[in-house]
Amino acid sequence: MSEKRSEQKKSAAKEHVKMNERQKSLKKVAENRKLVLRTVEKMIDCAVDEKLLIESCKVLSKADFEDLNVERSLTLLCGYPLCSNALTNIASQKYKISLKEHKVFDLTERKLFCSDICFTASKFVKKQLRDEAFWLSDDKSAVIVEIYRQNFGDIGNEVRLSDKLTEEEECKTSVKRTQNRKVSGLYFPYLKENQMEKLKESMSSLTIREKPL
């Protein structure tokens, strides 16, 4: 009887330890989440220096940085944290055609920034950040980002029209094939209606016999 009680106490002690570990883990996740939130909030309504941005990026994910870009733009401040320029003359159109480059650009993300350079600089930083949220990731190693130093930038995200046209053509071709099959009375895989009926009849009269050993 005493052995049974001893085992029960050991089992209860183990469960207590596991529960404490889970609570500590959840607490740590909550703390890391608050850390990321505070880090983003520090850079929303003002320009920051490179040192703070590099330090902040150690805990930011790509999604966090995108949120920061949007939040800054909502205050009519350039989405790039190192920039203090106000957002003015925001383009109303979604796309821009570059006759010089013979390309079409999506301006949706570009509108969050005051210039092509800030837009490109922000993308340059974001590309280096972690994919998974800091509080969910097992990898807590610091991400040390580099800062964009060029004096030129992209006017938007390029829209690859050839890819879109190819997808539309494939879709149209698929629909056309289906329509042609219906018109010609074909069933997949390419059986005519009378052939399908004959196949059904032959299958209904089919007898399977077991071969004697």
Q: Is the pLDDT of residue 18 over 80?
A: no
Whether the pTM exceeds 0.75: the reply is no
Bond into 212 cis (ω within 30): no
User: Which of 145, 91, 139, 92 has the alpha carbon at shortest distance from 115?
Assistant: 91
Q: Where are the domains of the chain?
A: 1-159
Q: Which residues contact 192 (CB under 8 A, 6 or more apart)?
A: 184, 185, 186
CB 43 within 8 A of CB 72: yes
pLDDT for position 137: 80
| pLDDT tens, position by position, 65-108 | 999 999 999 999 999 999 999 998 877 777 777 667 677 877 78
Tokens in use for 19? 């529960």
Assign a CATH topology to domain 1-159.
1.25.40
